[in-house]
Structure 1
Amino acid sequence: MPEVIFPGPDGRLEGRYHPQKERDAPVALVLHPHPQFGGTMNNKVVYNLHYIFHRLGYSVLRFNFRGVGRSQGEFDQGIGELSDAAAALDYLQSLKPDAKITFIAGFSFGAWIGMQLLMRRPEASGFISVAPPANMYDFTFLAPCPSSGLIINGEADRIAPPEDIVKLVEKLQSQRGITVTHTTVPGANHFFEDGMDEMTATVEQYVDQRTAELKASLPE
């Protein structure tokens, strides 16, 4: 898979880009967990999300936030990381300017960053939010949530407890005009060490179905 280096707001950012041949192929950006707790673009959940999108015909980019791997800069409490994610989406869109469908996906800290990016990018068609840490970070900015998406978490997650995620989902599901789908994977912890196959199968089924719906709604 091609390694890419692209400009970020605080220096170069390192990524992996997996393109499709079609000019108008949909695009997906995948965001990794917390940089200060070992999160990188090679995290197993992030890696699996990347390949789910690619199997379903997406051109996909995942990258390291500032200060991780070969990405320049240092951790910035989420503020700079959101700017990094915006720069990554700009870069992805520059590579595939004819894409009509854009997904933003993230795991844990990356899910929090992804949902913030979703609020700032009206062209985003949908989201995948894996184990969003609703107990650690404020998600009240999702008022209203701008697009439909999937939130998925593990039943035995002690880092992002399921009860906090359920409260977030209930709040988002009360909004009109969007559909937030929620799935809990039985027995899975935060990293889906038990339940990875079920998590990836659920995400793949959701993205496949949602992509078909989005394509059907596009103007001829």
Structure 2
Amino acid sequence: MPEVIFAGPEGRLEGRYHPQRDRDAPIAIILHPHPQFGGTMNNKVVYNLHYAFHGMGFTVLRFNFRGVGRSQGEYDQGVGELSDAASALDYLQSMNANSKHCWVAGFSFGAWIGMQLLMRRPEITGFVSVAPPANMYDFSFLAPCPASGLVINGSADRVAPPADTGQLVARLKEQQGITITHEQIEGADHFFREPYMDTMVETVTGYVKRRLTETTR
């Protein structure tokens, strides 16, 4: 899988780009957790999501936000990181002009950034939001949420408590024209430590495959 360096708003951004042979393959961008708490594109959840999407036939890009790894710049409270994500999606689209489906997946802080990107980019057709920290960040910008997607969390998550996730999902489900699927994995913590990682990946894979089947009928 090639390492890539592409232009971001504050300089170079470092990523891992995993293409398919099919020129029409769907594309997906994977967003990592909080840069100031050890979040990188090599986080286990991000890594597993990357390979799950590639295994389903997606061309996939994951990358380091500004100030992480070899990505230039400094942490910017989520504002700059959203711009980084937009630049990463631009880069991914420039390499895959024939793609008909575009997904965004994010974990924790990355889920918050991913949902904001969803609001800005109407070409995104689906999302996966893993352990969204609804207790820490305001998700009220999702009014209305422009695409259907999956919210997945663990019942033993102490970083992003299940009650807050449930309230977020309830608000999203009130909106017309989209379908929000919510899956809570019993016993899993915020990081889906074993034995729950495989369950999380299987849940995501099952959901995305169903969506892809629906769109190709």
1:71 aligns with 2:71: yes
Cα shift readout 1:7-45 (whole Å, capped 9, x = no counterpart): 000000000000001111000000000000000000000
In structure 1, the partner of 2:132 is 132
Cα shift readout 1:138-186 (whole Å, capped 9, x = no counterpart): 0000000000000000100000000000000000011111000000011
Cα shift readout 1:46-103 (whole Å, capped 9, x = no counterpart): 0000001100000000000000000000000000000000000000000001000000
Q: Which runs of 4+ in 1 moved over 3 A?
A: none
Segments of 5+ residues of structure 1 without an aligned counterpart are none
In structure 2, the partner of 1:188 is 188
In structure 2, the partner of 1:57 is 57
Q: 2:12 aligns to what SS in structure 1?
A: strand
Q: 1:183 aligns to what SS in structure 2?
A: strand
After the TM superposition, which residues 1-220 of structure 1 pair with which residues of structure 2 at under 5 Å, given as runs? 1-194=1-194, 195-216=196-217
Q: What's the offset of the Cα at 1:214? A: 2.1
Which stretch of the first structure deviates more once superposed, 116-125 or 185-194? 185-194
Q: What's the offset of the Cα at 1:211? A: 1.2
Sequence identity percentage = 71
For residue 43 of structure 1, what is the amino acid of its counterpart?
N
Q: Tell me, in whole angstroms, the C-alpha distance in 2 between the residues paired with 1:215 and 1:29.
A: 21
Q: Tell me, in whole angstroms, the C-alpha distance in 2 between the residues paired with 1:193 and 1:97.
A: 37
Segments of 5+ residues of structure 2 without an aligned counterpart are none
Q: Tell me, in whole angstroms, the C-alpha distance in 2 between the residues paired with 1:188 and 1:171.
A: 23
Q: How many residues align?
A: 216
Give the TM-score of the pair, scaled to structure 1.
0.97
Q: What's the offset of the Cα at 1:197? A: 1.0
Give the TM-score of the pair, scaled to structure 2.
0.99
For residue 129 of structure 2, what is the amino acid of its counterpart?
S
Q: 2:209 aligns to what SS in structure 1?
A: helix
8 Å Cα contact 1:101-1:214 kept in structure 2:
no
Q: Tell me, in whole angstroms, the C-alpha distance in 1 between the residues paired with 2:11 and 2:75.
A: 13
Cα shift readout 1:163-217 (whole Å, capped 9, x = no counterpart): 000000000011111000000011010000131111110001001111111233x
RMSD: 0.6
